[in-house]
Amino acid sequence: MSRDWHEWHREYDDPVSPLSRRLATVRSALASVLASVPASRPVRLLSLCSGDGRDTLPVLAESSAPVSGVLVELDAELAARARAGAPAGIEVRTADAGTTASYADAAPVDVLMLCGIFGNVTDSDVARTVAAAPSLLTPGGHVIWTRGASVPHDPTSYDGDPSELVRSLFVQTGFEEVAFVRPDDASFRVGVARWPGPAGSPEPGRRLFAFV
């Protein structure tokens, strides 16, 4: 992997860091999505590149909605931390989230977390992942995604804020934008998109992205 992801997670220890603000925004988005799902059955969740689960597990602990699902994280230590804090019904897999082989059996889900991915992969991988997202979702399922505006990107492909590319890809794919958070004083961006189409069925063993 290209970065020290343990070091990256340590920025969460500073409660006023931009990353901690991003964390609060993602958690709040997840809480809103969970509250919007009808209570007739457990909510199904899939988090790719889930880190130590900090953006997800505390929200599940506070939610009244029963949630089952899968977190996928490549780093064994971060995955173990997530596993230690995961409630019943949440499985943490130490696996490559870049291929659907690691989680095709868990789809379709009501909530797909794509946080901390899009700034670490090529724009074509972003496009491939967004295009494949419907295959992982239930009708009315939501995606929560992030993209840092200051993360380097290919300036020849578009001008300005790279999160705009992500937003437009979701809309072109047929998603409805539910929320988009772009603080004036921080470079993180958080989006929530809803899939209005039919239930998905992922192609097993399809590579969507690889960290660069």
Ligand X SMILES: C[S@@+](CC[C@H](N)C(=O)[O-])C[C@H]1O[C@@H](n2cnc3c(N)ncnc32)[C@H](O)[C@@H]1O
Interacting residues with ligand X (CB under 6 A)? 1, 5, 8, 49-51, 54-55, 72-75, 78, 96-98, 115-116, 211
DSSP state of 86: P
Q: Which is nearer to ligand X, 6 or 41 (CB)?
A: 6
* Min dist. Cβ of residue 71 to ligand X (A): 9
d(CA 56, CA 135): 22
* Min dist. Cβ of residue 154 to ligand X (A): 19
* Min dist. Cβ of residue 8 to ligand X (A): 6
Task: Could you list the beta-strand ranges (E) of 31-187.
Answer: 43-48, 67-73, 90-94, 109-114, 137-148, 176-181
* Min dist. Cβ of residue 196 to ligand X (A): 25
* Min dist. Cβ of residue 149 to ligand X (A): 15
d(CA 189, CA 26): 10
Q: Which residue has the tokens 């064994």?
A: 76
Q: Which is nearer to ligand X, 55 or 110 (CB)?
A: 55
d(CA 70, CA 50): 9
Question: Count of CB atoms within 10 A of residue 121's CB?
Answer: 18
**3-state SS record for 147-162:** EECCCCCCCCCCCCCH
- 9, 53, 77, 49: CA torsion to nearest 10: -80
Residue number of the CB atom closest to ligand X: 116
Q: Which is nearer to ligand X, 74 or 166 (CB)?
A: 74
Q: Which is nearer to ligand X, 110 or 125 (CB)?
A: 125
Q: Which is nearer to ligand X, 1 or 88 (CB)?
A: 1
